[in-house]
Structure 1
């Protein structure tokens, strides 16, 4: 089946790998980024299957324009992948209102908005997939990642709710939970002003997040892309699914987490 995809955050990392994989498979994709010039090479390589569009997901007008660009180019949207996101590092006390609002605006409000815009189209055609790129941090928190985890935990609650609301409609909602991938996510974290009182519990994590890309367990972005293509092609779509070399182990650890022991030991860097 040739599906029509709309993917956010395609300039680098997981989004770019996915956009390329979709285009290479012969399906149609509208690849979006804040700076669409970063996508020119992909567009030139796949002129028949890949189109590009400027999209700052924080801007409602940009979101509206991207959906209409997909309609104009392909006549509809069969798969929406809310991939664009940003991370922030800081202890809960360190994170300001503005920093928290920025995390929620990108990682929760924007995907909710785009979903709301696309759902009428999918319900009218009787099929479609809404994919939220969450994180293992959507089910397992780490010191210093409270704002990001708060947004991803909320996003997963939204997905589960939406999946129940769409039952029987032919439209599916799914959260994919990447573990550690070889992208620039860790190196691109914004940071709060440190409070010395949290140095012992938060500081050990800082270097760990910065080095995520180089960890032996870091999976290539192409693995994420191939796994998502497989999930969308399957007859049964899970509401949540971990993706990546470490993701299942990380979430199993989360389910068995002993907070009593953790609160009496010094934390070490862990995978996102």
Structure 2
């Protein structure tokens, strides 16, 4: 049986690849994008199985309107993929106020509003899946990506909470964490004027690696799209799906280090507990 998907950010990269794969196998896709016309070739090939909506997820009213229109046009939507993203590559001091606002409005608030707009429909139909696309940077960090991390760590916390709230309605939530992949996202990163003070710091090292082409992109975008489709087909609903050797290795190292630091503060953590609680625990 064909599955119906709603996917944001489909003009290029992972969103485009996923849309192509799904249409090729006979599924229906409601695809949103900011650039009208970017999917005209797919519409010509697949006809009414591709519903296209023009959407900038930073426009909250438009998010609700487009989501409502997609459900009205397609009747049932089985999978909502929150994929639209915006990246700022700059040290904390270098980024402008407008850049900071854009990354938060897109990756955090935009994703939140897509979920909020979709949930009434998913609850009414009694089933559905939400796939929240983040990155390895939703659980670990790299220099020059502070604002990107702020948005991705934020949306992961939101998604993890939502997963608990919507499970009773038969709706699943999975956080999809692709690693560094040659999808064109790196070339689309927004930059800022470089401050010389950061040249001999980790921020400068990462900048030189990215601009010099030595920043490793070990993952295959087509395989990532395939893994996402396979997950949905399997019916499994893990909270997180790490995709990529860098995601697995970097996130695991971060979690191990955080747990070790957390455990190191056990005594001081318990030292501030009320005496009555200490007695009760004993």
Work out whether the TM-score is over 0.5: yes
* Structure 2 unaligned residues grouped into runs of 5+: 259-282
After superposition, residues 67-216 of structure 1 pair within 5 angstroms as: 67-201=67-201, 202-210=203-211, 215=216
- Checking the alignment, whether the CA contact within 8 Å between 2:9 and 2:83 is kept in structure 1 is yes
Structure 2 length normalisation: TM-score?
0.85
CA distance in 2, matches of 1:26, 1:212: 38
Q: Are 1:218 and 2:219 matched, yes or no?
A: yes
- Checking the alignment, whether the CA contact within 8 Å between 2:76 and 2:125 is kept in structure 1 is no
- CA drift of 1:250 comes to 2.4
Q: Deviations over 1:118-174 (max 9, x none)?
A: 101101111111111100011111111000001000010001100111122100111
Distance 1:211 1:116, change over 3 A: farther
Structure 1 length normalisation: TM-score?
0.88
- CA drift of 1:206 comes to 1.5
- Name the SS of the counterpart of 1:70 in structure 2: helix
CA distance in 2, matches of 1:61, 1:216: 36
Distance 1:249 1:97, change over 3 A: same
CA distance in 2, matches of 1:25, 1:147: 37
CA distance in 2, matches of 1:216, 1:95: 24
Q: Which residue in the other structure is 2:266 paired with?
A: none
Distance 1:183 1:21, change over 3 A: same
CA distance in 2, matches of 1:217, 1:146: 22
CA distance in 2, matches of 1:214, 1:29: 33
* Structure 1 unaligned residues grouped into runs of 5+: 259-272
- Checking the alignment, whether the CA contact within 8 Å between 1:134 and 1:177 is kept in structure 2 is yes
- CA drift of 1:102 comes to 1.0
Cα RMSD (Å): 2.0
More helix by share: 2
Q: Which residue in the other structure is 2:235 paired with?
A: 235
- CA drift of 1:257 comes to 4.6
